[in-house]
Structure formats: C-alpha cells, structure tokens
Amino acid sequence: MADPTAPIHRIPVVLLTGCLGSGKTTLLRALLRAPEAANSAVLVNELGAVGLDHHLLWGAADTTLVLENGCVCCSAQEDLAGALEALFWQRLQRKLPRFDRVVIETTGIAHPAGILDMLDSRALVAERYALALVLCTVDAVFGLQQAREQPEFLAQVCAADALVLTKTDIADPVDLAALERLLRQRNPAALLRRSAGQAPVDGWVGLFEAGGRSSRGPLVHPTQPQSGALAHRSITSFAVRFGAAASRASLEATLARILQRHGARILRIKGIVKVAGDTRAWVVQAVRGRLSVLEPLGVGAPAQDAGFLVFITAGLPREDVLDGQAF
C-alpha cells in the first residue's frame, strides 16, 4: 500500500524562451534527438493563425501539442495550464506515450514571469509539475538591437538558467563580444554557450535532468506583468495562404521586396510552401530583414497544410505588407 505521506514525484518542466527567430526550434530539435532527452512531451506556443514549429519538430518528440494564436505569458496562459493538466491525466491513464519531462517552447514575445507564476500558483499544475530549467536562445546577429527595442528580451535573459548564443558564425565579432558582456552583466549566474549553425547537443543534454536548477537557488523573477497580463508592444500577425509558387526564385524575390521595403518592422516570416513542379514542401524563415535559405521539410512531416506564410510585424497591417505582392 502506497504511503500517503510520501512526496509526489513531480514532472520536470523545461521552459524554452528567446526572441523571434533566435533559434528556439532548431535548438529544441537537436536536444530532443539526444538519448538523454528521450521521453519528452513538447508544448509549442505559436503566435499566428497557423502553426509551423510542430512540423519542424516532426519525429523529434512522441508527444507535441500546439497552442496557437495567443501568447502563453498572458492571453493563452489558461490554455497552457489546461494543456499541462490534460497531459498529466492522459499520461496517468496511458492514453499518451509515457513522458519524463515537458518542454514548453514559448512565442518570441513571451515574458517568462507570467508563465513561471502559473507553474507556481495553479493548484494541480504546481502539485504535479516542477520547473527544472529556463533555457533562453539569444540571436548573436540581432541581440544588441533586440536588447534596445524589445523589453521582453531582457526579461527572458534575466529569467534564464542557461543562455545559448545562436548564429555566432555569421555575427560581427565586435557585436558578439559586446552582447556577451551585456548577458554576463544582466545574468552573471547563467551558463553561457555559443552555437554556430545547427545547435550542438554536447554539453546541453545534462540540463534536461530533473532538478537541474536546484543548485542555483530560487529564481528571481524579472519585472512582473501587471494584473495578470502583459501589455505587449504593438505586435501584429496574419497568415497568407496560396497554392504553389511559380518558382523558388519568384517566391524569394517577392519576400526580398517585402523585407527591403519594411526592414526591421517585419519581425518574422515563417511558413511552409510548395513550388510548381516540385513534390517537396519547403520551409521559409526570415528574421528582421534576413531571409534564410529555403530548406526542405523533414521526411515524413505532414505537408498537407503547405502553402502558407505567417507574418509577425511591429504594427504593420496586412494590406501594407502585401501591397500588391503576390505569391
């Protein structure tokens, strides 16, 4: 007979945060493929009417749920709490593959404090889950600019147990050094690692261990959102659906014109598209004026929804962004 006074084993939670386009999904995909991170359930919080990141995680996690069209630090926080509760009961009833931890990938504009408060204050969540790690990706190319312009940047950095500097292979060395100084000043206790290209796994998988943050003491939350909600900057998102593009060249040219015209006000473009005469689906990614090389969607990933782009902008309405542009 079970001892009713015995402590309940709480499921570790890893919170993965970072600004738009900073490489959260790339890092997560690499981490989840390591044997030490097996048996992880993933909750992906998407900003925009169409989800993409779960496609990019295809095959990396047995259980992936998507929370769409709301930021879990405020408007979709109840959805996150409900998803965690549902995960627990489905795990208990063996309706899902057994998982040993939950990874929450937030939107790029999420303020961590609201999520951390929910993990502590929501009764069933706090009873069954325990925060194990806050992991933050930092864009080495745009990090200094984001630190000046995006208040959530410093909130994410200050909340982190570990910081991963991404895109260090294409960053300016002087800016990279300045960014590292800023990160160490703002969060000297955090582990700090560089990543070039595809995020490395070595040295990071141990962070997924339960209780991995206990030795660092309690987390001091950065500036708390007021009244349970965070007043984000003027962020707009919309989706564009279309059939196959005429060619990769024409698609890239259209995106280049949009990015050239609006610059840094286009915070993020992401999507999955098809091209005439090509049976593959292609992943589109752009961050602050920089369009990444299109990559084929992973083998086996569901591509039935291909033919969409999600735009996340700093207050730009759909009509201004598109303005006669066709895909």
Confidence label for 161 from pLDDT (cuts 50, 70 and 90):
confident
Higher pLDDT, 251 or 220: 251
| C-alpha triplet 302, 103, 193: angle, nearest 5° | 105
Contact by Cβ (8 Å): 47, 108: yes
pLDDT at 296: 82
- Collapsed DSSP state (helix, strand, coil) of residue 168: coil
State how far the Cα of 115 lies from the Cα of 145, in Å rounded to an integer.
25
pLDDT at 68: 52
pLDDT at 223: 40
Pick the CATH number of 11-228 from 3.40.50.300, 1.10.10.10, 2.60.40.420, 3.40.50.720: 3.40.50.300
Across the range 94-114, mean pLDDT stands at 83
Higher pLDDT, 151 or 175: 175
Confidence label for 299 from pLDDT (cuts 50, 70 and 90):
low
CA 254 to chain centre: 26
Q: Which residue has the tokens 């005439």?
A: 276
pLDDT at 145: 93
Element (H, E) at 158: helix 151-159
E-assigned strands of the chain? Answer: 11-18, 40-45, 63-67, 101-105, 129-139, 162-166, 191-194, 236-241, 266-274, 281-287, 290-291, 295-296, 308-313
pLDDT at 99: 84
pLDDT at 56: 44
pLDDT at 203: 60
Contact by Cβ (8 Å): 64, 44: yes
With both helix axes pointing from N to C terminus, report the angle between 151-159 and 173-186 in degrees, rounded to the nearest 10. Answer: 60
State how far the Cα of 43 lies from the Cα of 35, in Å rounded to an integer.
19
Q: CATH 3.30.1220.10: which residues of the chain?
A: 236-322
Q: Name the most confidently modeled range: 18-27, 76-85, 286-295.
A: 18-27
Percent of the chain with pLDDT over 90: 18
Confidence label for 255 from pLDDT (cuts 50, 70 and 90):
very high
| C-alpha triplet 36, 40, 46: angle, nearest 5° | 130
Confidence label for 219 from pLDDT (cuts 50, 70 and 90):
very low
Mean pLDDT estimate for the chain: 76
Antiparallel, parallel or unpaired: β 40-45 and 63-67: parallel
Instruction: Tell me the residue type at 225.
Output: P
Instruction: Tell me the residue type at 31.
Output: L
pLDDT at 117: 77
pLDDT at 16: 92
CA dist 202 to 36, 41, 176, 184, 214, Å? 11, 21, 22, 22, 21
Across the range 45-53, mean pLDDT stands at 52
Nearest to 81 by CA among 47, 127, 40: 127
Residue 66, pLDDT above cutoff 60: no
pLDDT at 305: 67
End-to-end CA gap in the chain? 64
pLDDT at 216: 41
Main-chain dihedrals φ then ψ at residue 290, nearest 5 degrees: -110, 115
With both helix axes pointing from N to C terminus, report the angle between 77-92 and 112-121 in degrees, rounded to the nearest 10. Answer: 50
Instruction: Tell me the residue type at 179.
Output: L
pLDDT at 64: 57
236-322: which CATH topology? Hypothetical Protein Yjia; Chain: A;domain 2 (3.30.1220)
Q: CATH 3.40.50.300: which residues of the chain?
A: 11-228
